[in-house]
Amino acid sequence: MSAAIDVVREAGDSAAVPPCDSRFHYVPPWRAATLGALAERVLPPVADVAARCAAAARPDEPITAAETATLIAACAYVRLRGGGDGCTLAFGGLPPELAGHARSERMTVRAALECVGWFDANQRFLTGVHIAPDGPAGTRPFDGALYGPELARRYAPARQVTERFNDVLRGFAKDFLCSRRVLELGTGTGRLARNVAPFAGSYTGIEASRAMIDAGRRDGLDVRHGDMMAMPFATGSFDAVVEHESIDFCTEPLLAATEVERVLALGGRFYRVELETAPAAGIGRLQEGITARLADMSGGVFPYWTKGQRQRLHGWLLWRGFVHRRIELARWDETRTLRDWLQGLVNASYPSFSGIDERTALSVCAELAGAASLGDLDTRWPGRVGMTLHQYEFIDWCCPGHRPRPRT
């Protein structure tokens, strides 16, 4: 199987993305034929893994090495099919210390089902073919299973935001969202919503996890339970769509981007708010070490690694004709406890690690921090925080079905 993949890669894919082709990825004809042959070899084994895992009684049971290899080959195939456009969600984009786990026999049934769900969404997106038409149990992106009640309970306490963060968001909302019809993707527990909703003309959120909505409903925000990849809103019904750390977390961000394009009114804008933290030297390495240890303990790596997704999404939006502007909202120095710099690691409140109990995660953090001579978790360390806004403006159509090339 990997030999066939190598043949495709050697053939080279220098074809540029066409300016105005269709709503889907462009696949050169010669490549489509080769990939079609490859698909015949890759798809059936994935369906077998999906069926076997859906029927498995224990989600923490490890899958076999052969099944892991099947999923890895399938993900490589999807990356090829996607035109090598940086679709690194699956194993190819993992940091080296985690790729080892992904290639071993350690992936669990739960992780395998997520992987099949990811693969199915990509396959559907690229070719319109469902690999798992009914979705094996646990793989449907919309059920919000990744952010269940336990993770929703842990989520907000480990994402304490400073007043400065809230101020910057309110400033952004006053300057950019004032009196507009605003939609937020993946509202979560409402970190962004609480700050921006008061300044919007109207505010609507969409969130896949009922547990996350329940954890954030207290402010009376209008948050719908739904899938950002298939939104229940009319075409052209919003002036602005905003998101913070959520589009990267959906199964296929480009499907969500297609929906953003649809629900935005002409002249509307898509805003991605990025938060960058740069803690003191040594803490970044500590974060990597803790991540690797927790991945090891959690018995499997989820395919939800966002490396490469931002570039991929950016390229897609430009191709669709959105005009991009990068705006630095603020940058400041901040001193925090090590516990705060380690954010979601101290209580394992990332989807990949939520099988680990909080006390264990805390003790791993404390042990590795001590070993790295960074003190205990209450030691304060300086760092730098920045907030950047990516504005994508939806200008006009060249024809009813297609967007124009970006204008320079």
Site residues (CB under 6 A) for ligand SAM?
A: 141, 144, 147, 186, 188, 191-192, 206-209, 212, 227-229, 244-246, 249-250
CB of 125 to ligand SAM, least distance (A): 13
Whether the Cβ atoms of residue 5 and residue 81 lie closer than 8 Å to each other? no
Q: Which is nearer to ligand SAM, 106 or 312 (CB)?
A: 312
CB of 187 to ligand SAM, least distance (A): 6
Whether the Cβ atoms of residue 304 and residue 245 lie closer than 8 Å to each other? no
CB of 166 to ligand SAM, least distance (A): 12
List the one residue out of 249, 257, 258 whose CA is nearest residue 212.
249
Q: Which is nearer to ligand SAM, 42 or 151 (CB)?
A: 151
CB of 122 to ligand SAM, least distance (A): 14
Q: Which is nearer to ligand SAM, 249 or 394 (CB)?
A: 249
Q: Which is nearer to ligand SAM, 20 or 329 (CB)?
A: 329
The residue nearest ligand SAM at its CB is 188
Q: Which is nearer to ligand SAM, 147 or 319 (CB)?
A: 147
Q: Which is nearer to ligand SAM, 61 or 276 (CB)?
A: 276
Rounded distance between C-alpha atoms, residue 111 and residue 138, angstroms: 10
Q: Which is nearer to ligand SAM, 356 or 374 (CB)?
A: 356
Rounded distance between C-alpha atoms, residue 68 and residue 83, angstroms: 23
CB of 40 to ligand SAM, least distance (A): 30
DSSP string, 77-111: HHHHHTTSSS--TTGGGS-HHHHHHHHTTT-BHHH
Helix (H) or strand (E) holding 359: helix 358-371
Q: Which is nearer to ligand SAM, 147 or 172 (CB)?
A: 147
CB of 273 to ligand SAM, least distance (A): 8
Give the other-Cβ count within 10 Å of 127's Cβ.
18
Whether the Cβ atoms of residue 237 and residue 246 lie closer than 8 Å to each other? no
Burial class (CB in 10 A: 0-12, 13-18, 19+), 208: buried
Rounded distance between C-alpha atoms, residue 270 and residue 397, angstroms: 16
Rounded distance between C-alpha atoms, residue 206 and residue 189, angstroms: 11
CB of 333 to ligand SAM, least distance (A): 22
Whether the Cβ atoms of residue 318 and residue 260 lie closer than 8 Å to each other? no
CB of 11 to ligand SAM, least distance (A): 34
Report which DSSP code applies to 176.
Answer: I
Question: For the chain, percent helix, then strand, then coil, each to nearest 5?
Answer: 50, 20, 35
CB of 308 to ligand SAM, least distance (A): 17
Q: Name the one residue in this structure whose structure tokens are 């210390």.
A: 97
List the one residue out of 243, 248, 256 whose CA is nearest residue 350.
248
Q: Which is nearer to ligand SAM, 172 or 381 (CB)?
A: 172
